[in-house]
Structure 1
Amino acid sequence: MEKICVAVRVRPPTPESSSSENGSSLWKVEDNRISLHKSLDTPISTASYAFDHVFDERSTNACVYELLTKDIIHAAVEGFNGTAFAYGQTSSGKTFTMTGFETDPGIIRRSVRDVFERIQMISDREFLIRVSYMEIYNEEINDLLAVENQRLQIHEHLERGVFVAGLKEEIVSDAEQILKLLDSGEVNRHFGETNMNVHSSRSHTIFRMVIESRGKENSSTDAIRVSVLNLVDLAGSERIAKTGAGGVRLTEGKYINKSLMILGNVINKLSESSKLRAHIPYRDSKLTRILQPALGGNAKTCIICTIAPEEHHIEESKGTLQFASRAKRITNCAQINEILTDAALLKRQKLEIEELQMKLQGSHAEVLEQEILKLSNQMLKYELECERLKTQLEEERGKQKEQEQLQFTPAIKRQPTPLTAATTECSHENQKEVEDLKSQIELLTNEKDSLQVKFNEQVFQNNKLMGEISELKEGMLHMKEIPKRLSESVANGKEVYKNVIVTMKTLMAEKEFPTAKLLFGVTGITTSLLSTLESQFSMILDGQKAGSIVDYPFYDQWETLRVSLKNTASSLVSDAQAMNEILNSHDKGQETAAMEEKLKSELSILAERYNELEKELSLDKQLLKASRESHGRLEKEVQFLKEERDSLDVAISQSTQRLRVIASDKENALKDLNVEVKRRKEMEEEIKQISFAFSSRQKSLMSFHNEIKSKMQKLTTQNPKLK
């Protein structure tokens, strides 16, 4: 049993106040006593108070922490629950004492750093720290680390005690991480402006650290220590006449004063004698409900009461000091919070048996020694059974960890819970995970089917595209051959026509050859020309029919040219035959002039046709150039389509392979889960049986232990020398 540590801190006067006026009342601090003085330093006997610590306006936050809070922080690391909170009127320095500034950190920030420094000094234990930050605003609990968690409810559990359901807890590893969380929580806290404070806290805040530790050697006989450290910044009590509050500020002030009044009632009840103490109204306020373990319970607690030195705040300061005086009479029963394992419990009972054996040495209690020997044998069997159970549990935990890794579920460190509850919770979680996996497999199967349909459609389109590409390739090959053949034919025709014209001009100039010879030469030349052109066009037409090539713009022109040449040649042949007949029946000399004139006209016609052929040749060259450019574009498009098809094939192949792997993994995971669920159900039944046997044996052991104690007491009374 130990009393609550209570301290008083006087804040410095504000620049606007003048505490040195004549007739003004002053607070004087002497050692651990604070008293109210009138003018000429005359003390008022009814206004003198003594506390564990009293800090004047020159004291710093470092001094307050070292003398008041540091021991509680160290005790929390050792396994004791701890609480520190500031109480006082508004604008008296509570938030400055608890939070402080960067240049002068308050109790909360210094405690955070001191906890981790203390942990570094303890090398034989490993620690796990969780933090949470909440505020009580208008009797509603809000989570300052998660804005979406509002209006949380308080619950009570046999093992956990009083806790806030839904409150976010962050696992932390260093002090800087906690300080960042504190800064983010301060942003979400409710502040407001009043006539007494431009930055007034409108809510109570509770910063909580849960410290768990166990031995690093993983000894089965070590207990797990779990302590809770609460650092509380209370909103200040206020009078409406001084604060000038209205509207929202007035509502906030009512809730603040109500909760502080209930806190004062709880302090009054706890300060009374236990015989006179009636019902303690913890449940009347959420603040007192949460702080219940710190007020008369299992915790080391310190209270910092802050007062203002100004004359017009004397009544509020007296009320604060009276609250502190009552709180000083409260006693707590703080003890280390340990969760004993089965092996640790066995070890303690074994030590008690050894102590009894030591007491029985030298006595004649042979019957008791035999009973103790029997009890030791039972304990040995019990230890073996516990070892077997422990081995099974370790295997179960290992398999469960592997299963959680397989299911991509992050591991979360939790406080140890009873075996039956843990296995039941795991069973429910596994069942839920099985259902989730089934739904995921069904979705993946549907997605696989849809992708397979798209893949088949893509394959069909690719095959169709490949056929079109092949036809385009063949067409382009024929397109290359047609202009080439036409160009060669035109070139040959051009040379032949040049020879014809030159020959005719030569014959006409010399006038030595007879007309029959001239006509014979022209007929031969024309026939040779037509046969050459006919063979070339036949080859082109055959190539078109074989390759199914579409008609080209210049084909009609070449066809017209062919018909025209053929008609011209036919007319020349017929004229030649007519001229032969005329020559055979008439005088050659008379008809020579007429034939020359006719030949000249024919030559002029051929010259005109030659010029037309040259123009058509130029046009055909332009068409040939355009067809080559079109061919180049088609080749590029074909190459692009081929590359796109190859990339689609690769993507579809990879997607199909991934789907197969995912489906296979999910099926295997589902099978393993079904097997694991079945095995866990069997393990649950076995654990229930073992737990029942363990409970019954423990009861028998305790009854036997009590029997031994009673016999020892009887033996002691009979033989006083054993004392």
Structure 2
Amino acid sequence: MAKDLSATVDEQKTREKLLRDDLEQEQRRSRELFREIQSMKGNIRVMCRIRPAPADTPQEELADFGPRERGEYSNHWAKMCIPQERKDFKGDIVTESRNFSFERIFGQEESNDDIFNEVSDLAELALSGKNVGVFAYGQTGSGKTYTLSNQGSPDTSNDGIIPRTLALLFETAEKGFLGYKYSISVSILEIYLDNVYDLLQTSPTGEKVTTMIEGASSFALESLEAAQEIINMATGMRASSSTNKNAASSRSHLILTFKIGREPINTTSQEQVKDGILNLIDLAGSERPAASGMGGQQLQEGKKINQSLLSLNRAIAALGQGTQVAYDDPLLRALRPCLTAGSKTLMFVMVSPFKRDLSVSIQTLEKGQEATNAKLAAARRGNNPRPSKTPTPPPRRPLASSRPSPASNRPPPRS
């Protein structure tokens, strides 16, 4: 009887070991498949969003972004052809077209929910140990902060990327994503002029504390609620000022850095585990200082903002070409972990829907096109392998009109 019981216990242990081995093998296959899919998407990704206009905006005030054309391997709007009028040397009005191409273009009718459904895999990529950076680039009033930081309470249906990413990180970590248990911490920096501020610290007088980038404080996040409270408190300290584009324009770059530690749930695993980093960056407005009614201190702000944005574009181009990145600006030094070979970078190009802003919008789109060209250069170098079987491109026909629906009552995003 004792022998039979002992044999039964041994058989049970053997079955449990086999099940654990099978589970670990399946998790390993899942990790490899996930990484392969992300590799196909490339290390540099560029998307565009046209900010929704108020529902009662007269049609003649809206910019014409041309017919909606699908991408080569996408069912979504990905190519933009903008008609532009100008006078030729005879003084006659001629129309030219400006062409831009991105991974995806989000029209005015698309919501923050649509945005996050497209980019949520990047948060999961950081959970898998990669360095990831997501940033919003565009003029004041183009919807950068709305897309990244909007937070509705109790209604969360149109939350931005940051609150949705927080929720996803905690939800996925609790499920033991890809066979790991996780720890999450955050650092929050503001770069204003040439100063770097640690927004998780305050001086005894309540003023912001300057810091070296390497010395930024890090705060362990124990729950989603605590994380939201900390981030809301810190981002409320961000520098802003009034311009003729926006009554409270952000005049600094805001960088949230999430460090994601991992440990295998299976304690017998010999796998080398690397922590992940996720940077979410709300850049200052990219418009030219003179166009924003700036003078004095604001003029200096505008110059510094544009200098750092130019350095960022150069860094992305260098990544695409495989050349050395010059970390010659505080913004680049703060983003260094996510601006190196093997990291993942997503640039959101944000543009205004209004005809009056079209010249600035085209300047923004040109910067986005430079990043798209860097992505193509990286693909040509073989850094972003394509699937072994190239899918047949769908018919390239115009999509629905780019005009917002008159029935839409979505409020316009803030800058």
Assess same fold via TM > 0.5: yes
Quote the offset at 1:223 in angstroms: 2.8
Residue 214 (str. 1) matches residue 263 (str. 2): yes
**1:138–1:256 contact (8 Å) kept in structure 2:** yes
Q: 1:61 aligns with which of 103, 112, 115?
A: 112
C-alpha distance in 2, partners of 1:317/1:113?
A: 32
The match for 1:70 is 120
Closer, same or farther: CA 131–29 of 1 in aligned 2, 3 Å:
farther
Closer, same or farther: CA 75–266 of 1 in aligned 2, 3 Å:
closer
The match for 2:401 is none
Closer, same or farther: CA 210–29 of 1 in aligned 2, 3 Å:
farther
**2:134–2:279 contact (8 Å) kept in structure 1:** yes
Closer, same or farther: CA 253–14 of 1 in aligned 2, 3 Å:
farther
**1:86–1:306 contact (8 Å) kept in structure 2:** yes
Q: 2:78 aligns with which of 10, 32, 37?
A: 32
The match for 1:298 is 342
C-alpha distance in 2, partners of 1:219/1:268?
A: 43
**1:13–1:19 contact (8 Å) kept in structure 2:** no
Quote the offset at 1:293 in angstroms: 3.5
Residue 239 (str. 1) matches residue 283 (str. 2): no
The match for 1:109 is 163
The match for 1:180 is 229
Residue 262 (str. 1) matches residue 262 (str. 2): no
Quote the offset at 1:177 in angstroms: 1.1
Quote the offset at 1:28 in angstroms: 3.2
C-alpha distance in 2, partners of 1:224/1:3?
A: 21
Structure 1: stretches of 5+ with no match in the other structure: 154-163, 335-723
C-alpha distance in 2, partners of 1:292/1:232?
A: 13
Residue 9 (str. 1) matches residue 49 (str. 2): yes
**Aligned partner of 1:66: which letter?**
N
Quote the offset at 1:37 in angstroms: 3.2
Q: 1:134 aligns with which of 189, 213, 217?
A: 189
Residue 52 (str. 1) matches residue 106 (str. 2): no
**1:126–1:214 contact (8 Å) kept in structure 2:** yes
C-alpha distance in 1, partners of 2:137/2:105?
A: 14
Residue 92 (str. 1) matches residue 128 (str. 2): no
**1:282–1:289 contact (8 Å) kept in structure 2:** yes
The match for 1:145 is 200
3-state secondary structure, aligned to 2:65: strand
**Aligned partner of 1:100: which letter?**
N
Cα deviation, 1:534-563, whole Å, max 9, x if unaligned, reads xxxxxxxxxxxxxxxxxxxxxxxxxxxxxx
Quote the offset at 1:220 in angstroms: 6.1
3-state secondary structure, aligned to 2:185: strand
Quote the offset at 1:236 in angstroms: 0.9
The match for 1:630 is none
**1:214–1:223 contact (8 Å) kept in structure 2:** no
Closer, same or farther: CA 16–235 of 1 in aligned 2, 3 Å:
farther
Q: TM-score, normalised by structure 1?
A: 0.41
Quote the offset at 1:88 in angstroms: 0.9
3-state secondary structure, aligned to 1:63: helix
Closer, same or farther: CA 120–193 of 1 in aligned 2, 3 Å:
same
Structure 2: stretches of 5+ with no match in the other structure: 1-38, 69-76, 86-93, 385-415
Closer, same or farther: CA 260–179 of 1 in aligned 2, 3 Å:
same
C-alpha distance in 1, partners of 2:296/2:340?
A: 37
C-alpha distance in 1, partners of 2:261/2:211?
A: 25
Cα deviation, 1:331-364, whole Å, max 9, x if unaligned, reads 4969xxxxxxxxxxxxxxxxxxxxxxxxxxxxxx
Q: Percent identity?
A: 29
C-alpha distance in 2, partners of 1:298/1:98?
A: 24
Quote the offset at 1:147 in angstroms: 2.1
C-alpha distance in 2, partners of 1:26/1:207?
A: 35
The match for 1:457 is none
3-state secondary structure, aligned to 2:274: strand
Closer, same or farther: CA 138–29 of 1 in aligned 2, 3 Å:
farther
C-alpha distance in 1, partners of 2:108/2:298?
A: 29
C-alpha distance in 2, partners of 1:142/1:65?
A: 28
Closer, same or farther: CA 202–251 of 1 in aligned 2, 3 Å:
same
3-state secondary structure, aligned to 1:26: coil
**1:240–1:250 contact (8 Å) kept in structure 2:** yes
Q: 2:133 aligns with which of 65, 78, 83?
A: 83
Closer, same or farther: CA 19–262 of 1 in aligned 2, 3 Å:
farther
**1:33–1:48 contact (8 Å) kept in structure 2:** yes
Cα deviation, 1:633-656, whole Å, max 9, x if unaligned, reads xxxxxxxxxxxxxxxxxxxxxxxx
Structure that is richer in helix per residue: 1
3-state secondary structure, aligned to 1:9: strand
**Aligned partner of 1:266: which letter?**
A
3-state secondary structure, aligned to 1:282: coil
Q: TM-score, normalised by structure 2?
A: 0.69
**Aligned partner of 2:301: which letter?**
E
Higher relative contact order (CA 8 A, sep 6+): 2
Closer, same or farther: CA 38–326 of 1 in aligned 2, 3 Å:
closer
**1:25–1:38 contact (8 Å) kept in structure 2:** no
Quote the offset at 1:246 in angstroms: 2.3
C-alpha distance in 2, partners of 1:15/1:147?
A: 42
Quote the offset at 1:16 in angstroms: 9.7
**Aligned partner of 1:51: which letter?**
F
3-state secondary structure, aligned to 1:165: helix
Cα deviation, 1:589-634, whole Å, max 9, x if unaligned, reads xxxxxxxxxxxxxxxxxxxxxxxxxxxxxxxxxxxxxxxxxxxxxx
Quote the offset at 1:29 in angstroms: 5.5
3-state secondary structure, aligned to 1:48: strand
The match for 1:192 is 241
3-state secondary structure, aligned to 1:142: strand
C-alpha distance in 2, partners of 1:97/1:10?
A: 11
Quote the offset at 1:250 in angstroms: 2.2
Cα deviation, 1:225-257, whole Å, max 9, x if unaligned, reads 301000000001123333212233222222112
Q: Note the aligned Cα RMSD (angstroms).
A: 2.6
Instruction: Work out the number of aligned pairs and report it.
Output: 313
Structure possessing the higher radius of gyration over alpha carbons = 1
Cα deviation, 1:253-280, whole Å, max 9, x if unaligned, reads 2211221122223334444x45xx5x64
Quote the offset at 1:91 in angstroms: 1.4
C-alpha distance in 1, partners of 2:316/2:59?
A: 32
Q: Which residues of 2 match residues 345-384 of structure 1 at below 5 A?
A: none
